[in-house]
Structure 1
Amino acid sequence: MTATGSFPSLHFPLSQRALNTKESQIREASRYCVKFGAINLAQGLPDFAAPQDLKAAAQAAIAADRNQYADTWGLEPLRVAIAAKMQQDNGVQVDPETEVTICCGATEGLNIALMTLIDPGDRVLIFEPFYENYIPNLATVGGIPEFLTLHPPQWEITAEMLEPIFQKGLKAVIINTPANPTGKVWTKAELQLIAEFCQRYNVYAITDEIYEYILYEGEHISMLSIEGMRDRTIVVNGFSKTFCITGWRLGYTVANPTLTAAMRRIHDFITICAPTPFQYAALTAMQFGKDYFAQLAADYKRKRDLLYPTLQEIGLNPVLPKGAYYIWTDSSALAETANQAAYRLAKEAGVAAVPGNCFSNPQREQVNGLRFCFAKKDSTLEAAIANLQKFKL
């Protein structure tokens, strides 16, 4: 030690996964939202309450001292309920004992799926724009992202687009449907096309289906239901978005017994189990009928249709989403780069959106795009709309 009591300067090398994991731009947008006192249409967290019955169930579980470790794989009744949901809503029969795992949010679900499948150097196809987490998730396992850019307004894929990238030698493909940030809902024909390539080139599919019930056009189809994909698909889903409980960290995976057994071993030593009282509460959520989900989609569609015209009027060329609760826009009318556009909008208009950089290939030199979240109270959206209407480009 030096005379002043401090330690001498030492060099502490960091791992490549630490160096390759950048700070979240979504959370950063929320931070400068606070700095400028802006309305937060950036981070995908609702500012309204979760269902009362669900909150009461969580409170009852805590009061009943459901405070210790649950079964590592998840409460058996909850796994049984998820299996029943997969049969009813997705047309897939799964075994709750060997194919369903409750984990700490869909985020952990995606991580344990990648840890199960991907070795350092393995290539994974990601469709751009993509959810921000996929790049750092791959960095933790040494996976190499292969980007395929889709274009608005339909975000379509073709065999001609897929062939060269599958020929590179992929280990897996990540599909998000409905998609964050674009609102794309993958069609059955598109999933069948991906399935054909996965089977031809021996590739796994990891499907992020967290926005399954937030749907305005088309239908949600799980890759697990596509012919030939039963044994090469890992479904990642959860309760956060559907029940407005993003902070409860409650998700699940569904996959064949071999993949599930591997994910369970990893899950056990990462988190042991998902929060026990919230698992008991989720049993109540699983009993909500079809009316709940229909009303959920209707409410979000109304919110979408409230915000969309203003984004159009001020020249941001928004793409009308078919699912999820985000609107993707062009940002070129605001500034040269997406980061500059987002900062300007927060500072001058008092509305925070997420710059498109975090949804794009990090090597891309020029990114134009902003993501607006409309999972907000009507009063929040109306205040944001008022600010945007006063804003001059």
Structure 2
Amino acid sequence: MTRPLLNRRLHGLGTSIFAEMSARAVATGAVNLGQGFPDVDGPPSVAQAAATAIMTGHGNQYPPGPGIPELRAAVADHQRRFYGLAYDPGTEVLITAGATEAIAAALLALLEPGDEVIAFEPYYDSYVANIAMAGATRVPLTLRPPAFRPDLAELESLITARTRLMLINSPHNPTGMVLTRAETEAIADIAKRHDLLVVTDEVYEHLTYDREHIPFATVDGMRERTVSVSSAGKTFSFTGWKVGWVTGTPEIVNAVRTTKQFLTFVASGPFQYAVAEALRLPDEYFATLASDLKTKRDLMAQGLSDIGFEVYQPDGTYFITTDIARLGEKDAVEFCLGLPERAGVVAIPNAVFYDDKEAGRTQVRFAFCKRQEILEEALSRLEVLAY
């Protein structure tokens, strides 16, 4: 494939570049800091719970449509334990094939053709497809460097008679922005005043470093209009298991379940038993996870800055966004396509997460959910770029 044709494809489809860059990592022996998955598995006790479930015949056949009772109860307990939110596991919790399916099912269930959805730009790549499949229109609220904070006045100005819901991702992929309590409450107030639903993507809820994650459902008046989505993959380092969940009112959960049954129907049977165990791990596990990732974030932030990148330090997630203009580079797609051969490292251009490609033209995202020695090796290789 020629470079110009490849560029056109990558600018249009974020998903394509993940496959392309992972293939380049394999072909060149590059350190892959592109896709967001850890290079070590999660807790052995959780893996053993999955193995035990398989060997004892738990979940090897179709699990219940809403998810196994043990996991729905564990999700409800998790929401109460960390956020003081009470959900009925029988009617207000739905288990899905990861957060990606949860978001797709929620949008397909709640949107009608012609509706408008306000979402933070840059977007997680599935949002664009999900909104389009629902026949709705995405309306971007662009987060701008260096802090990537939402402009609340601009947000309110985007609301029209067709606005149906806001799709809120915090902690935010790819920027790592985490909404403050004041921002969360202000956005919630806008939702209530304009009678909007809020779908919240909270998959990085336990991966925050400098400020706490505040679920929208904890704000007064928001529980009944919030579809909360999360998953096990990021928190427990088993991204391949694809176990996610939705919490909300019985009416919301029933609507999402009605759509979900025509997507995967059910999924991840044995892994549901294991995730139920994982959600009950002690507080120390969650604190250590965040502490270890913060150390890696700081390592990458300092190392990339020393090389010459402009670094936008994230408050959460396991991604770090940089700007390559200081290195004399003008196009992040070209930069990332050439980086495996040039420096032996794979990264992702943020332009694929924007409608407005100019907004992210010189932004590059690195994943730091790898072993420290791998991150150090990547930084060592990237020193060839130093100004």
TM over 0.5: yes
SS, match of residue 379 in structure 2: helix
Contact 2:340 2:346 in 1 (8 A): yes
Q: Report the CA distance between 1:54 and its aligned residue.
A: 0.7
Match of 2:247 among 250, 254, 258: 254
Which moves more between the two structures, 362-371 or 229-238?
A: 362-371
Instruction: State the distance in 2 between where 1:364 and 1:274 align.
Output: 39
* Residues 203/24 of structure 1: CA separation in 2 closer, same or farther (3 Å cut): farther
Q: Which residue of 1 aligns with 2:345?
A: 351
Q: Which residue of 2 aligns with 1:308?
A: 301
Instruction: State the distance in 2 between where 1:145 and 1:28 align.
Output: 26
Contact 2:95 2:245 in 1 (8 A): yes
Which moves more between the two structures, 287-296 or 381-390?
A: 381-390
Instruction: State the distance in 1 between where 2:205 and 2:343 align.
Output: 33
Q: Which residue of 1 aligns with 2:56?
A: 64
CA deviations 1:40-92 (Å, max 9, x no partner) are 00000111122100111111011001211111101112111111111121121
Question: Superposition pairs for residues 3-152 of structure 1, below 5 Å?
Answer: 23-66=15-58, 67-152=60-145
CA deviations 1:244-294 (Å, max 9, x no partner) are 011001000011111111111111222222211101111210220100000
CA RMSD of aligned residues (A): 1.7
Contact 1:328 1:370 in 2 (8 A): yes
Q: Report the CA distance between 1:363 and its aligned residue.
A: 5.9
Structure showing greater radius of gyration is 1
SS, match of residue 141 in structure 2: strand
Q: Report the CA distance between 1:33 and its aligned residue.
A: 2.2
- What fraction of aligned residue pairs are identical, expressed as a percent? 38
Instruction: State the distance in 1 between where 2:294 and 2:168 align.
Output: 23
Contact 1:21 1:139 in 2 (8 A): no
Give every structure 1 segment of 4 or more consecutive aligned residues whose post-TM-superposition deviation is greater than 6 Å: none
Q: TM-score, normalised by structure 1?
A: 0.91
Which moves more between the two structures, 178-187 or 161-170?
A: 161-170
Contact 2:167 2:198 in 1 (8 A): yes
Q: Report the CA distance between 1:168 and its aligned residue.
A: 6.0
Q: Report the CA distance between 1:172 and its aligned residue.
A: 1.1
Q: Of Structure 1 and Structure 2, which has the larger fraction of its residues in helix?
A: 2
Question: Superposition pairs for residues 192-341 of structure 1, below 5 Å?
Answer: 192-332=185-325, 333=327, 335-341=329-335
Count of aligned residue pairs for this structure pair: 374
SS, match of residue 237 in structure 2: coil
Instruction: State the distance in 2 between where 1:223 and 1:283 align.
Output: 24
Q: Which residue of 1 aligns with 2:4?
A: none
SS, match of residue 301 in structure 2: helix
* Residues 238/23 of structure 1: CA separation in 2 closer, same or farther (3 Å cut): closer
Instruction: State the distance in 1 between where 2:204 and 2:295 align.
Output: 17
**Matched residue type, 1:31:** A
Q: Report the CA distance between 1:156 and its aligned residue.
A: 2.1
CA deviations 1:97-125 (Å, max 9, x no partner) are 11100010000000001011112221111
* Residues 366/220 of structure 1: CA separation in 2 closer, same or farther (3 Å cut): closer
**Matched residue type, 2:354:** S
Contact 2:350 2:360 in 1 (8 A): no
Q: Report the CA distance between 1:336 and its aligned residue.
A: 2.0
Instruction: State the distance in 1 between where 2:304 and 2:86 align.
Output: 42
Q: Verify: 1:378 aligned to 2:372, yes or no.
A: yes
